[in-house]
Amino acid sequence: MAKILIEKVLNNNVLIAEHSTYEEVVLIGKGIGFNRKRGEYIDTNAVEKLFVLKDEKEQENYIKLLPFIDTDYLEIIISAIDLIKQRSNSTLNEHIHVALTDHLMFAITRASQGMAVNNPFLVETKALYRREYEIALEVVQLLNQKIGIQLPVGEVGFIALHIHSAITNKSLSDVNQYSQLISRLVEMVEEQFDITIDREGIDYVRLIRHLRFAIERVIKGEKVEEPEKIAALLKEEYPVCYYLSWKLIKVMQQTLKKQVFDAEAVYLTMHLQRIQNKIK
């Protein structure tokens, strides 16, 4: 059984400790530092309910944040991250403690000053990461209730991206890049077909999910099988959709800097053809 010795109490919710397995760690949990002293041992059963920062850089960045955060707010943010952990039933990447805590403090400050920040990718985020969006909605409701403020709906989208980043171990910049790429690809489809796709409709959801999974396959280098002779048939029967699919793929390649296999054009063409059929 691991032994955990308190080295320093930073505040009621954060300790620096010596862990027999991970060496120096930062422990985060509501009230964990209350009435604690240097040199005491912590019950390992209690630690299982806490957040443990093992990465030195994350420890350093988190400790730097602490002086700027009101203790009551910190407890609420810790509760919010605990809610994310429970609802997602996932091991969260340590970075969420720094990134989301920092983001939420800015969001709370902006809301208290009556400043609203527009989230241009809210609809895309809701459709792409529905599970994360629903958890983020609960987080915003918790914050609004506990702090007595009203965070704008755009914050649900921002928090959802933080949650997706923590669950999938992707950097937030990558998650943002993929959301922006999908938004750009959808705009290209709308321009080509001279339509506006209903953001609440099933066609939009299907299109962006197809694009999301295509992007994920490209990033992982997964090759999908191409049905024999179908590419030539699609090129002949549906030239507009076929060439549009290749325009989209070229943008994906330029943005992701990775090869996109030809089979992706086949499946994307069939998807675009379904959209085109509906607008004829």
Please state, rounded to an integer, the average pLDDT across all residues of the chain. 91
What is the side-by-side strand order in the sheet with 41-42?
Answer: 41-42, 4-11, 14-19, 23-28, 51-53
Question: Domain of 22: which CATH number?
Answer: 2.30.24.10
Q: How far is C-alpha 17 from the geometric centre of its chain's CA atoms?
A: 29
The residue out of 145, 170, 195 marking a domain boundary is: 170
61 is a domain residue? no
Report percent pLDDT > 90 for the chain.
71
Same domain, 15 and 43: yes
64 is a domain residue? no
CB 221 within 8 A of CB 258: yes
Domain, as residue range, for 47: 1-55
What is the number of domains present in the chain? 3
Same domain, 178 and 270: yes
Model confidence at 238, pLDDT cuts 50, 70, 90, reads very high
Q: What is the pLDDT of residues 240-249, one digit of tens each?
A: 999 999 999 9
Same domain, 238 and 180: yes
63 is a domain residue? no
273 is a domain residue? yes
60 is a domain residue? no
